[in-house]
Amino acid sequence: MSFVVRAARREDLQQLLELARQFSLLNLPAEKRVLETKIERSVASFKGELSKADAEYIFIVEDTEGELVTGSSMIIAKNGTPASPNYSFKVLKKERFSRELGIGFIHQILRLNVNTDGPTELGGLVVDRAYRRRPEKVGRMISLSRFLYIAMHPERFEEELHSEMAPPLTEEGRSEFWEALGRRFTGMPYREADLISNQNNGFIQSLFPEEDIYLALLDSKARLVLGRVGEETQAALHMLNKIGFQYKDEVDPFDGGPHLRCATQENKIVQSHKKARVVKSAAATFDQSAIIGLLRNGSYLGGASPYRIEGNQIAFPEKTWALLELNEGEEIYYW
């Protein structure tokens, strides 16, 4: 274990900015002032100082050998309030039939959905490209740690979990879905609309059509990417499916990426996590491995480590003790 998952700190700003520049995520924009505000909000959220409607939690994974921020992930405690609704397109089917011609069709349609009492969103998952294929599975570690934190503080989150998956984009970073639909109703390029919506997304309801949109009328390139994920997102989709998330026939109004949902208490990590007191051990082998986390000083610290159960206590290798600065008898959560 040489990687530690922890809550983001103010001093992580520059490295987090450099990480964000590798990607293009609404939740993690490569804008210094925006990221600075998000980190401040995250620090206050971990301390329990913000309401559910305002709380956002940023987790980072640090390579302790080089003191490098190698990945990040987020929890938005409530995505969808009266002040800031969550928007999506429901993907529905509508039957049309002509008795005169004896012809019928089943059309796929998009219907704008406005949610002012939204779920908890899991987002902002990024891993530095240099660490993506490492055997330590940094992406898995930083992603699953969020669910362990939710298990630690269920009262801070909603009864349903939500994740918005990144769709395929062109090599230039253009969304074919946005070009076929969103741009026609807003007059804005994808990147500009994406950035503006991070501050205020009310223009979606003001400018997007209230009426059903027939997919047959959209460009074939837009239809092809609807509800699909990009190649780099396939692993994240597979991981979320394994712990209980499912596609709910709902897509992002900007890029057509699929939205996944899972009842919080049915999430496998929330459902089956355990906790135990830490104990020193002279054992030479640790026969199991887990995502581990603990609450300390109004923050979060954890990672992935080998372990062994001794009675009703849990034991870790010396390196884990050193990295997490564990104390005998301290309570730790694991999955």
Instruction: Calculate what percentage of the chain has a pLDDT beyond 70.
Output: 99
Which of left, alpha, beta for 80 (phi over 0: left; psi -120 to 50: alpha)? Answer: left
**Region 199-225: what's the mean pLDDT?**
90
pLDDT digits (tens, 9 = 90+) for 31-60: 899 899 999 999 999 999 999 999 999 999
pLDDT digits (tens, 9 = 90+) for 76-103: 999 999 988 999 999 999 999 989 999 9
Alpha carbons 275 and 254: distance in angstroms, whole number: 41
Q: Which DSSP state fits 255?
A: T
Cα–Cα distances in Å, from 275 out to 85, 300, 327? 36, 15, 15
Residue 24, pLDDT score: 67
Residue 135, pLDDT score: 84
Domains of the chain in sequence order = 80-115+175-272 (no CATH), 274-334 (2.40.40)
Residue 28, pLDDT score: 80
Alpha carbons 258 and 198: distance in angstroms, whole number: 19
Alpha carbons 254 and 260: distance in angstroms, whole number: 16
pTM assigned to the model: 0.91
Residue 149, pLDDT score: 98
Q: What is the mean pLDDT of the chain?
A: 92
Residue 1, pLDDT score: 56
Judge whether 71 and 23 are in contact, CB under 8 Å: no
